[in-house]
Amino acid sequence: MAVDLGVVGLDVYVPTRRGYRRPYINLDNAASTPPLVAVARKVEEFLPWYASVHRGAGFKSRLATEIFEEARRIVVASFGFSPATNVAIFVKNATEALNKLAHRWPWEAGDIVISSLAEHHSNDLPWRKKARVLRLGLRPDGSLDLDHLASLLAAHAPRVKLVAITGASNVTGVLPDIHQAAILAHRYGAKIVVDAAQLAGHRPIFAFPDDDPRHLDFMALSGHKIYAPFGQGALIGPRSFFARGDPEYAGGGTVSFVTPESVAWALPPARDEAGTPNTIGAVAMAVALKTLQAADLSRLARREYGLTKRLYGGLARIPGVVLYGPPFPTVDRIGIVSFNLAGLPHGLVAAVLACDYAIGVRSGCFCAHPYVAWLLGTGGTTPPPGPERPGMVRVSLGLYNTEEDVDRLLHAIAEIAAESGYYRRCYEYEEGEGIWWPRGWRPEWGKWFRL
Ligand SMILES: Cc1ncc(COP(=O)(O)O)c(C=O)c1O
C-alpha cells in the first residue's frame, strides 16, 4: 500500500507586502515540521476515545492506556532498541529529554562529559550544570573531528562518563558518525547520548543491540521535528538506568506508594513521567514514526540529497552568497544549508523572503551560538540582539519540499542580492520584536486565524 506522506497546510496562500497573496513555502523544517496528514487523521480518529490513562477504570481509559503503551513500544522499536532492556520516557521535547538525563545521571565530583562545538544549546547547557564539559573540536570544514574525540577519551578516561553529540547539526546539517563515536566512547568505558532531534526525521537510526560496541545508549527526540507537532518528545535509554534514583519531578504517577514520611518510587517509565501524560502527543509521535518507516527513510534521504545538491549548487552560483560548513557533497549532511548575503543583515534577508516572497526560513544563531560564532569566525562571543548581530540565514528541507520550492527560493535570493539597496530602504528593524518588517506594512492577523 502506498504511504501517504502528505502534510497538512501545503496549499495555503499568505499575504505579501506587494499586495497579493502567494502560495506559502515552508523551508524552516529544522525548527518544526508540519503534521503528516496520516498523523492528523489518526489524532482525530483517536479523539473520541481520549480518556485518562493508567488507573482509569472505564473502557475508554483502558483502551487509551493500551494505545499509550503501544505508542511507547513503537518509539522504542522504531530505532531498533531492545524493548526488554530499554524504555522510552515520554517528555515534551528533546530539550526536556536531555535535561532529564543530565538530572538523572549519578554524577560524582570530577565527572566529565564530552560534547562538541557543534551542539544545539539543548545538548550543551544541561551538561554544564552538572559536570566538566570538554568540547570535541571541528575540522577546518566545520565537520566534527572524531580523532579529537579519541584523544580526549584517551586523555581523560575513566572520568569521562558520557559523550553527548548531535545526530545531525541544525546549522550545517552535517552528520557525525554516531556509531564510530559510540565505539570510541564504549572503548573507554563511557556511554553515549545522541541528540536525534534533527536526525530522526531524515535518516533511519539503528541503535544496535545493547552489547554491540556501536550501540547508542541514550537518544533524545522531538515529535514536532518528525511531523508530529503535538507536544511530545522522548528519551530512550536502559530500563535499569531509570530504575534507580529520584525523578526530577515528583508527584502523581511517579510512585508505587507513599506514607506521610516516605515514598517508594514506581518502576520505569512511570517514575519519570510525573502528572497526566500527553496521550495525544504519544499517538501522534508513534504514527509519525510508523509512517516514516513505511515510506523508507533511506529512499527519502536519496531524494533529499538531490534537492540539497540543487539548493547548495544554486546558492553557490549567486554572486554575494557566502555558504557555511563543509562544501557539498564532501561530508554527509541532511537538507540544511546556512548562508549569508554580502551587505545585508541575515534577519533582513529572512524578512524579505517572508514578506515579499512568502517563503519561510529562519535566521540568527539557531540556538547554537558557539558553532555559529566559529563558522562566522567572530570569536567566542555572540553580541546581544540587534539589527547587525552576526548570524546566518538557514534553509531546511522537509520530505514534502519540491524542486519548485528550491527554485523559487533561489530565484528570490538572486533578486534580493541584485536589489539589496532597494530592500534596505523598504524594510526597518523593530527593536521591540527584534525582527525586520517592511516599512508601514503588517498583515491583518485576524483575517487569517481567530481563536
Ligand atoms: C539539534 C537539536 N537539538 C535539540 C533541539 C531542541 O529541540 P526542542 O526545541 O524540540 O526541544 C533542536 C531544536 O532545534 C535541535 O535542532
Instruction: Give me the catalytic one of 355, 365, 367, 426.
Output: 367
- CB of 120 closer than 6 A to ligand 1? yes
* Alpha-helix runs per DSSP H in 49-202: 59-78, 94-104, 125-128, 146-156, 178-187
Say yes or no: 104 and 214 in one domain.
yes
Say yes or no: 347 and 279 in one domain.
no
Pairwise CA distance, residues 372 & 375, whole Å: 5
Pairwise CA distance, residues 182 & 190, whole Å: 9
Alpha carbon distances (Å) from 125 to 39, 113, 159, 420:
32, 11, 19, 37
Domain residue limits at 289: 40-294
Instruction: Provide the CATH number for the domain around residue 151.
Output: 3.40.640.10
Residue ranges of E strands in 259-335: 263-265, 321-323
How are beta strands 25-26 and 435-438 bridged, if at all? unpaired
Say yes or no: 55 and 22 in one domain.
no
Say yes or no: 109 and 122 in one domain.
yes
Residue 358: strand, helix, or coil: coil
Rounded to 10°, the helix 146-156/178-187 angle is 10
Q: Profile the chain (451 residues) by mean pLDDT over runs of 10 residues.
A: 88 95 98 98 98 92 97 98 98 98 98 97 97 93 90 98 98 96 98 98 98 98 98 98 96 94 96 97 98 96 97 98 94 96 96 98 96 89 79 98 98 98 96 94 95 96
Give Cβ neighbours of residue 5 (< 8 Å, ≥ 6 apart).
Answer: 36, 38, 291, 295, 399, 400
Q: Which atom of ligand 1 is nearest to the CA of 31?
A: 14
Say yes or no: 105 and 239 in one domain.
yes
Determine the pLDDT at residue 1: 61
Residue nearest to atom 14 of ligand 1 (CA): 31
Å from CA of 170 to ligand 1 middle: 8
- CB of 122 closer than 6 A to ligand 1? yes
How are beta strands 112-116 and 132-136 bridged, if at all? parallel
How are beta strands 435-438 and 255-258 bridged, if at all? unpaired
Instruction: Give the DSSP letter of residue 266.
Output: P
Instruction: Give the DSSP letter of residue 123.
Output: G
Locate cell 559536570: which residue? 131
Q: Which atom of ligand 1 is nearest to the CA of 168?
A: 1
- CB of 222 closer than 6 A to ligand 1? yes
In a domain, residue 2? The reply is no
- CB of 123 closer than 6 A to ligand 1? yes
367 is catalytic: yes
Residue nearest to atom 7 of ligand 1 (CA): 94
- CB of 216 closer than 6 A to ligand 1? no
Determine the pLDDT at residue 46: 98
Structural domain count of the chain: 2
The partner residues of 363 in beta bridges, in order of sequence, read: 393
Domain boundary among 268, 294, 320: 294
- CB of 124 closer than 6 A to ligand 1? no
Say yes or no: 273 and 306 in one domain.
no
Residue ranges of E strands in 243-361: 255-258, 263-265, 321-323, 336-341, 359-360
Say yes or no: 261 and 322 in one domain.
no
Pocket probe mutation, ligand 1, options 29, 33, 95, 115, max atoms within 8 Å of Cβ: 95
